[in-house]
């Protein structure tokens, strides 16, 4: 069986295999925390220092090569020492999205691998559109809850998983104690690859949404279902459709992400040791 066949036929076995490869390659039996760095967040990872290990994700069982510019498809292992504590962080630079059309398994393979590699906390970052007009471009927002407009779940079968504390209140409290200026919001998952119409954004606002993007939700559910705690951070990189009257473009997203990367990298570095 190829690595891709294993991913689709037995995704947890593929994640377990990838986790064993990470342990073997890094020489670290167990990692503590994982970060998935979305569009524009890749440079924030550099604030964590020099990685102890790095490889192309697709060298590991079940990972595909990346499809989108700004998503480099690397896996890194970092040793983070702060305040007398040392821990190991697994960082995924880039992710697979539902809009790529490969199905759900590749979308959640990274977080499943991270949990199988020992990670108890999964930090999911993304770039998103701002629906709440009090959010400015370049502003990071903690995800408090989500609305799934794809209705696509990484789970099948009679597993009725509670999602009332999906985006861990414990972790959000710690992060806000590091940076009290951080806002929170409700993230809507939109399949894409089209952005929304102005009418769809009006609908989302009426539903109680603050942020809209094409990732994070399946990964949060998959990580939570395996027992990990989840932190979601969205970087608002454009006003959602119909808010400013401007059209949306991917270059705007990349530029806003780079500008906020230093601040976010420093926040992650100081916060991570306090989460474990």
Confirm whether 239 is a catalytic residue: no
Residue 237 is a binding residue for ligand 8IG (CB under 6 A): yes
Q: Give yes or no for a cis peptide into 193 (omega within 30° of 0).
A: yes
Select 168 or 216, whichever has its Cβ closest to ligand 8IG.
Answer: 216
Residue 138 is a binding residue for ligand 8IG (CB under 6 A): no
Confirm whether 215 is a catalytic residue: yes
Residue 253 is a binding residue for ligand 8IG (CB under 6 A): yes
Select 91 or 204, whichever has its Cβ closest to ligand 8IG.
Answer: 204
Smallest gap, in angstroms, from Cβ of residue 72 to ligand 8IG? 17
Q: Of 214, 256, 261, 264, which residue is the catalytic one? A: 214
Residue 143 is a binding residue for ligand 8IG (CB under 6 A): no
Could you tell me which stretch among 42-50, 75-83, 89-97, 190-198 binds ligand 8IG (CB under 6 A)? Answer: 190-198
Nearest of 113, 79, 127 to residue 248 by alpha carbon: 127
Q: Of 20, 58, 67, 100, which residue is the catalytic one? A: 100
Q: Which two tokens stand for residue 95?
A: 């992710």
The partner residues of 253 in beta bridges, in order of sequence, read none
The conformational region for residue 31 under phi > 0 = left, psi -120 to 50 = alpha, else beta, is beta
Identified binder of ligand 8IG from the candidate list 240, 260, 261, 268, rule CB under 6 A? 240
Residue ranges with strand state E in 25-137:
33-37, 53-56, 74-82, 85-93, 121-130
Determine how many CB atoms are found less than 10 A away from the CB of residue 101: 9
Residue with tokens 């009679």, as numbered in its chain? 158
Residue 129 is a binding residue for ligand 8IG (CB under 6 A): yes
Residue 37 is a binding residue for ligand 8IG (CB under 6 A): no
Confirm whether 52 is a catalytic residue: no
Residue 135 is a binding residue for ligand 8IG (CB under 6 A): no
SS3 243: coil
> Is 75:60 a contact under the CB 8 Å cutoff?
yes
**Which residues are tagged catalytic?**
39, 71, 97, 99-100, 127, 214-215, 238, 250
């Amino acid at each position: 069986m190829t690595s891709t066949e294993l991913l689709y036929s037995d995704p947890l076995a593929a994640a377990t295999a990838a986790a064993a490869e990470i342990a073997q390659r890094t020489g670290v039996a167990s990692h503590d925390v994982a970060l998935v760095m979305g569009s524009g967040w890749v440079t924030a990872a550099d604030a964590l220092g020099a990685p102890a290990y790095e490889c192309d994700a697709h060298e590991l069982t079940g990972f595909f090569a990346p499809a989108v510019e700004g998503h480099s498809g690397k896996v890194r292992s970092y040793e983070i020492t702060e305040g007398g504590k040392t821990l190991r962080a697994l960082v995924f630079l880039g992710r697979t999205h539902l809009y790529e059309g490969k199905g759900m398994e590749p979308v959640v393979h990274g977080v499943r691998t991270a949990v199988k590699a020992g990670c108890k906390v999964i930090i999911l970052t993304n770039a998103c559109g701002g629906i709440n007009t009090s959010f400015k471009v370049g502003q990071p927002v903690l995800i408090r809850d989500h609305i799934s407009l794809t209705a696509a779940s990484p789970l099948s079968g009679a597993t009725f998983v509670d999602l009332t504390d999906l985006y861990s209140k414990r972790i959000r409290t710690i992060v806000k104690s590091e940076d009290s200026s951080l806002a929170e919001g409700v993230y809507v998952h939109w399949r894409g690859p089209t952005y929304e119409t102005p009418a769809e954004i009006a609908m989302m606002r009426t539903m109680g949404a603050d942020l809209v993007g094409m990732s994070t939700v399946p990964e949060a559910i998959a990580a939570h279902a395996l027992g990990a705690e989840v932190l979601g951070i969205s970087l608002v990189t454009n006003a959602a459709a119909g808010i400013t009257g401007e059209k949306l473009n991917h270059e705007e997203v990349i530029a806003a992400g780079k500008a906020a990367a230093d601040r976010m990298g420093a926040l992650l570095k100081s916060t991570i040791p306090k989460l474990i």
